[in-house]
């Protein structure tokens, strides 16, 4: 092993300390159970004899709820203990998943508890999931997000494999019961990590009373400051600019099948590239912690222009696969882009801004498919060209409005 390779592996020691490992375990244990439960919701509807029209209502309700929920949760996490909200998220997931296992005839209750299950993930992501990212040093964030995503996506893959083995022998209802009970594991890890962090904070506290007396005023001031922050408006414009192309990715399998590619081939390709992404992200995360992240973030935004143009003019399988490879490999920059966002804001602002941006993104994702559906019926070319323009404008906003933080 050469000197450079040794240096690369040593750099990851900084994100393999005890508290980091506990966070990775939270993500691993939560998405090990949550991923498969959400993935097979359509199969659950089929097993319960619930028609496609009810499933459509479920998807619409979920979209509407998630326009509001991220912003509300982020604000609550700003006001209250994010660890407690994280524990509540685990309990909500547990109750939602276990309850739906016992209900067959009452469609209203099936919808309610499934929405509860999905909301548990959102509540976790925009409370503890966001705030805990600020507990680690800025110079390690690129590596942290890259390694965290390995645990996250790896756990989903393992969960899907185990879920497939389980449902081959037992019912889907019992699968929901067994896997939902698994949420107890991340619940206890969150409680344990919360206790450790609070003990460390207690050791360095000097004047708790003075801190508490100013806390409410400080939180109100932070909310006001957010509206005046140029970076907030820059990220909002970027969210709007990238929404069209991001939503058009949901239509990509339709383009593939129109070219004669089987669904199994498309999904197999996505799965293989996801593994490559995880490995590539580890390398890029190492470099971003050494040299800064803004320009990698700009590349992340601008690079999508290339596959968008490829998809706009593709008329054969070769071009389609080239576009998919470019899109998926580019996604290895996602952990760096995530880290760059956290570099731009303090914890007090960042948690709220992330929730608000997600709500805006969900609103756009709710509206964009209508326009995309209309354009798709006319020509797929327009869909991807508009997406390319949106990402180009988003990249320009990032260049001129966002800081070069290190």
In the block, which residue shows the tokens 């490999």? 329
d(CA 101, CA 114): 10
* Cα dihedral 344, 249, 301, 365 in deg (nearest 10): -40
User: How much is the pLDDT for 343?
Assistant: 81
Confidence class for position 364, pLDDT limits 50, 70, 90: confident
Query: Are residue 182 and residue 281 in the same domain, yes or no?
Result: no
213: Cβ contacts below 8 Å, ≥ 6 apart: none
Report the distance separating Cα 245 and Cα 372, nearest Å. Answer: 10
For 379: left if phi > 0, alpha if psi spans -120 to 50, otherwise beta; the answer is beta
Spatial separation of the C-alpha atoms in residues 184 and 188, rounded to whole Å = 6
Where residue 395 sits, what CATH number does that domain have?
Answer: 1.20.1250.20
> Based on the domain organization, do 193 and 262 belong to the same domain?
no
In this structure, how many other beta carbons lie within 10 angstroms of the beta carbon of residue 48? 16
Q: Residue 1: is its pLDDT beyond 90?
A: no
Domain that holds residue 34: 15-205
Whether residue 5 is contained in a domain is answered as: no
- Indicate whether 246 and 312 sit together in one domain: yes
pLDDT for residue 265 is more than 70: no
User: CB of 86 within 8 A of CB of 130?
Assistant: no
pLDDT 10s digits, 167-207 = 888 888 999 999 999 999 999 999 998 877 654 544 444 44
pTM (global) more than 0.75: no
Query: What average pLDDT does the segment 340-367 reach?
Result: 79
Cα separation, 80 vs 83, whole angstroms: 9
Q: Both 20 and 167 in a single domain?
A: yes
Is 177 part of any domain? yes
Render 237-300 in DSSP notation, one character per residue.
Answer: HHHHHHHHHHHHGGGHHHHHHHTT--HHHHHHHHHHHHHHHHHHHHHHHHHHHHH-SHHHHHHH
Do residue 241 and residue 360 come from a single domain?
yes
Do residues 260 and 317 touch, judged by C-beta distance below 8 A? yes
Residue 23 pLDDT > 60, yes or no? yes
Domains in the chain: how many in total? 2
């Amino acid at each position: 092993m050469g000197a450079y390779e040794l240096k690369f592996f040593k750099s990851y020691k900084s994100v393999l300390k005890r508290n980091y490992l506990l966070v990775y375990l939270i993500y691993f244990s939560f998405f090990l159970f949550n991923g498969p439960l959400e993935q097979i919701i359509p199969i659950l509807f089929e097993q319960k004899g619930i028609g496609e029209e009810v499933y459509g209502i479920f998807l619409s309700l979920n979209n509407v709820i998630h326009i509001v929920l991220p912003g509300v949760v982020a604000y609550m996490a700003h006001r209250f203990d994010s660890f407690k909200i994280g524990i509540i998220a685990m309990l909500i997931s547990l109750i939602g998943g276990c309850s739906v296992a016992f209900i067959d005839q009452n469609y209203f209750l099936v919808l309610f508890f499934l929405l509860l299950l999905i909301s548990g993930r959102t509540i976790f992501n925009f409370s503890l999931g966001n705030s805990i990212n600020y507990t680690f040093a800025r110079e390690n964030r690129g590596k942290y997000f890259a390694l965290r995503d390995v645990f996250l996506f790896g756990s989903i893959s393992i969960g899907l494999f185990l879920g497939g083995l389980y449902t081959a022998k037992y019912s889907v209802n019992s699968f929901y019961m067994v896997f939902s009970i698994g949420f107890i594991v991340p619940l206890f890890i969150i409680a344990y990590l919360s206790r450790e962090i609070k003990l460390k904070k207690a050791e360095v506290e000097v004047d708790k009373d003075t801190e508490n007396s100013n806390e409410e005023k400080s939180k109100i001031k932070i909310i006001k400051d957010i509206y005046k922050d140029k970076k907030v408006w820059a990220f909002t414009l970027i969210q709007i600019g990238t929404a069209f192309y991001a939503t058009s990715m949901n239509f990509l399998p339709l383009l593939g099948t129109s070219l004669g590619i089987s669904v199994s081939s498309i999904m197999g390709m996505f799965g293989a590239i996801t593994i490559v992404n995880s490995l590539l992200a580890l390398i890029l995360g190492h470099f971003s912690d050494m040299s800064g992240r803004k320009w990698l973030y700009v590349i992340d935004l601008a690079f999508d222009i290339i596959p968008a143009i490829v998809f706009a003019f593709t008329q054969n399988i070769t071009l389609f696969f080239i576009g998919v490879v470019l899109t998926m490999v580019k996604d290895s920059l996602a952990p760096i882009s995530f880290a760059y966002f956290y570099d731009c804001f303090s914890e007090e602002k960042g948690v709220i801004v992330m929730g608000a941006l997600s709500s805006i993104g969900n609103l756009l994702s709710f509206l964009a498919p209508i326009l995309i559906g209309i354009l798709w019926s006319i020509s797929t070319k327009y869909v991807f060209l508009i997406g390319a323009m949106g990402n180009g404008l988003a990249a320009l906003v990032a260049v001129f409005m966002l800081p070069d933080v290190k």
